[in-house]
Amino acid sequence: MKKTKASSMALAALNYDLFETKPMPPPVPATLYTKIKNQLWRQSVADIKAWEANLDKLPAIEELCRMFNRYNWLYFDGKLSQVRIEYSTRMRIAGSYTPRKKLIRIGYKYHQIFPEEIADTLKHEMIHIIYFKHNAAFKKEAKRIGASLKARTHPSLMRPSRYMYCCPNCGKKYPRQKILRMASCGDCSKGGKFDARYKLKLLKH
């Protein structure tokens, strides 16, 4: 079969396509999600620095709600359900979450003493939306987002005891907020079980 000029040109073009070096594609640009996440991170860091620079004044509820939304996108891909946030002047702990009310309470007295921990408390309570108890899954999540597991203690946050119990054997005293029914001395009882011989006696009501 005789080669025509047209077939020769087509074959040459085919050979060129087969052996032509393809240029490397440019790197994929950052997605809109990544850009938003980075922006939220910068805003969150800026807010925390602003709080630390003005520790004598706790952030308003509106600011806490904005921080909740940013943390929601930063750490949970926006999957957490919306909740209400409020300060509690009665609580002496750092914070709490009530699933039935979908409510995060932030301890006002606690954060007057430790205002630099308010962002950490918010992250801790946000994990409770997924894991109510401090189980292994909760601890793993807390480590992932950099949240503390326990709050700090302070003498002014301790409630005065309503009841005082005493061990009849060693004399150790146990201040308590509630009445104890079947409780024995932890030092004298063996195996952490109730022992009637060392049942605590009420000294003061």
Query: SS3 for 177?
Result: coil
Q: Which residues pair with 163 in a beta bridge?
A: 176
- Say if residue 100 is in the same domain as residue 43: yes
Q: How far is the C-alpha of 123 from the C-alpha of 127, rounded, in Å?
A: 7
pLDDT at 1 over 60: no
Domain count of the chain? 2
Q: Does residue 20 form part of some domain?
A: no
- Between 113 and 28, the higher pLDDT residue: 113
Q: How far is the C-alpha of 182 from the C-alpha of 88, rounded, in Å?
A: 33
**pLDDT tens figures, 138-151:** 999 999 999 999 98
User: Is the full-model pTM beyond 0.75?
Assistant: no
pLDDT of residue 155: 78
Q: Does residue 1 form part of some domain?
A: no
Q: Does residue 109 form part of some domain?
A: yes
Within 13 Å of residue 18, how many CA atoms lie on the same side as its CB? 6
- Between 37 and 11, the higher pLDDT residue: 37
Q: Does residue 95 form part of some domain?
A: yes
- Say if residue 118 is in the same domain as residue 38: yes
Q: Does residue 107 form part of some domain?
A: yes
**pLDDT tens figures, 94-133:** 999 999 999 999 999 999 999 999 999 999 999 999 999 9
Domain of residue 180: give its range: 159-205
Q: Does residue 12 form part of some domain?
A: no
- CA neighbor of 186 nearest in space, from 160, 165, 204: 165
Q: Does residue 18 form part of some domain?
A: no
Which domain CATH number covers 57?
Answer: 3.30.2010.10
